[in-house]
Chain A
Amino acid sequence: MKKYEVVVVGAGPAGLSAAIECARAGAKVLVADENNKPGGQLFKQIHKFFGSKEHKAGVRGIYIGEQLLKETENLSIEVWLGSEVCGIDADKSVWIIKNKEESCCVKAERIIIASGATENSIAFEGWTLPGVMGAGAAQTMMNCYRVLPGKRVLMIGSGNVGVIVSYQLLQAGAEVVGIVEAASALGGYGVHTAKVRRAGVPFYTGYTVKRGIGEKYIEAAEIVKLDSDWKHIPGSEKILTADTICLAVGLTPLIELAWLAGCRFTYSAKLGGHIPVHNKYMETTVKGIYIAGDVSGIEEASTAMEEGRLAGISAAWSLGYYDDQEAEILIEEEWRKLNLLRCGQFGVNRKVSKDEILNKWEEMRNE
């Protein structure tokens, strides 16, 4: 069995950042990713990032991805693509299937799980018809494969994903017939929301999708107003002609591998569901298994990169590549950057939820 000091699951922003930190410290690292291209979701994120300059604000996601790949290459990090991690055991053996054909096991001293997240769906009448898809899926079709997912699109969800993908649909030549938001207030950053608003896209707040209408594929959507108990208000239905319904209704952390490895969990609705409990070093309740990025709670690519670095530094430190003093300085610095990303109108809620997880780790340790 091949041995590595660190195996990183996932070559997205968190996983690559973690691998870069491990390799920079001197550890032998393997990164495994199921996709044929590294970078996770960064290569479809053609919008400019937020945050401060040190968080690469103003830079488009694709360029951040290219930069990460360059660093990965410069450090000669071993990256296995088309490689699905199918299991992790408590003894840190990692089962990988390469190119759907070749099964192998590698042994790791430390594992960093950066498996990301999956898009949520909502089951309404007609949701299984062709034309209903995740907003992220539509974004992949457009920005990675240059395929327009539809001509008249209804977007469900007004968070950042909903408004950003709506704007990119407009840029790609589709019509966005509306953005439906169940809450009474819009969910996305003002700058992205304003752009679609200026382009004349109608917003339906306090509405949800009731039905996808069509014989063989989506031809229209029925939306309905919600009362204060989130119940449909009869008679408030509207029918909008559309060939595509995009769902931008949040993400769920991909926790299967952490569960198999024996990690303990806590539930956080704000962070996307069941989250592996971890400490401020990103280490889970299983010694030597770390997490970073969306699997540790849904945030953004910018926080995922900092968390990845934090996990990478911690893993390298635990392997003896840093002494306590060096590690402390590096870890403090990562926390300073993370705290900067977790403030303001949107960030502060995430900070509170992330702190709850850290507290849970302390509680579990004392049990």
Chain B
Amino acid sequence: MSKIICRCEEITEDEIIEAISNGARSVTEIKKFTRAGMGLCQGRTCRKSIERILARETGRKVEDIGISSYRKPVRPTKMGSMK
């Protein structure tokens, strides 16, 4: 198994590369293809690693990868607290 990139959702580097070969070009697309960055930490740990893989695999600079999208709540939250 290739190394894990997103610890929360246990998504490997190979899975991210596969998503790129299927057309994913942004951090948000990687998220939607694979769930990488959709776990407990909401991508705070893996986002930069994903940006670097995207840059390497698509021959772009990291700064050209673009910003990820974000959603509320930005912290892990119990459903019960949202009354």
Contact = CB atoms under 8 A, between A and B. Distances in A.
Chain A complexes with chain B:
yes
Interface in A95-129: 95, 97, 100-103, 118, 120-128
Given A84-B73, A97-B73, 10 more contacts: A86-B73, A86-B77, A87-B72, A87-B74, A95-B72, A95-B73, A103-B83, A123-B4, A126-B3, A252-B44
B78 A101 contact: yes
B49 interface: yes
B31 interface: no
Contacts of A124: 3
Interface of B: 3-5, 7, 13, 42, 44-49, 62-63, 67, 69-75, 77-78, 80-83
Given A95-B73, A97-B75, A256-B74, A120 B48 contact: yes
A86 B74 contact: yes
5 contacts: A86-B74, A97-B75, A103-B81, A259-B67, A260-B74
Interface residues of A, number: 33
A125 B44 contact: no
Contacts of B71: 260
A330 interface: no
A85 B82 CA distance: 13
Nearest to B64: A267
A361 interface: no
A123 B49 contact: yes
Contacts of A169: none
Contact of A260 (B45, B70, B80): B70
Given A87-B73, A118-B44, A122-B49, A128 B78 contact: no
The A interface, classified by DSSP as helix, strand, loop or mixed, is mixed
A128 B1 CA distance: 13
A125 B12 CA distance: 11
Given A128-B7, A259-B70, A274-B67, A121 B49 contact: yes
Contacts of A85: 74-75
Contacts of A265: 67
B78 A123 contact: no
A257 interface: yes
A101 B3 contact: no
Q: Which of B13, B47, B48, B70 counts the most A-chain CB atoms under 10 A from its CB?
A: B48
Given A267-B63, A269-B63, A121 B45 contact: yes
Contacts of A256: 42, 70, 74
Contacts of B82: 103
A120 B69 CA distance: 19
Nearest to B51: A273
